[in-house]
Amino acid sequence: MRTKVVLFLAQGFGTGRAPMAPGTFGTLPGIVLVLALQPTPLPVYIGITVLLLAVGIPLCGEAAIALGRKDPPSVVWDEIVGMLVTMTAVPLSLTSVLAGFALFRLFDIWKPWPIGWVDRRVGGGLGIMLDDVIAGVFAALAVHGGLEVYDALAITSTA
């Protein structure tokens, strides 16, 4: 019974079991969580994100052992947390959520340094979680940078 619960959670409430693009589908609960947490103060949002990260390390590690793979594609708790990291302190709109989602998936799939290095060298639940957290940081920086550019252009066009 415990293994079933671990897999249900680690596989993003079943979304990670999608036959194609499980990481992409597995990010969707992260979007729902981002939207649900919108009214919370930033320190609470960060606290929940850190808590889910801390829970995710042993959860993903145990799921990987149960599935017999280093980083099973169906384990998507890391994508959920990565999406939360991506959207930290981002003003929510349809555009920002879509941009955050696209950028997070881009960095998670592309795995530029140090994401790819962590993915290859850090094992267990920590490795499963850490590469997605770093991808989320990269995506967050890109989203915030894009918002700054947009704001600068909007100010310039009205001046």
pLDDT per residue over 46-66, tens digit each?
999 999 999 999 999 999 999
In one-letter notation, the amino acid at residue 99 is: A
Task: Report the helix count and the strand count for the chain, using DSSP H and E.
Answer: 7, 0
Residue pLDDT, tens place only, 121-137 = 999 999 999 999 999 99
Distance of CA 46 to the CA centre of its chain: 13
**Cα–Cα distance for residue pair 149/26, rounded to 1 Å:** 30
Average pLDDT score, the chain? 96
The per-residue pLDDT for range 86-105, each reduced to its tens digit, is: 999 999 999 999 999 999 99
Q: With beta carbons less than 8 A apart as the criterion, state whether 94 and 29 touch.
A: no
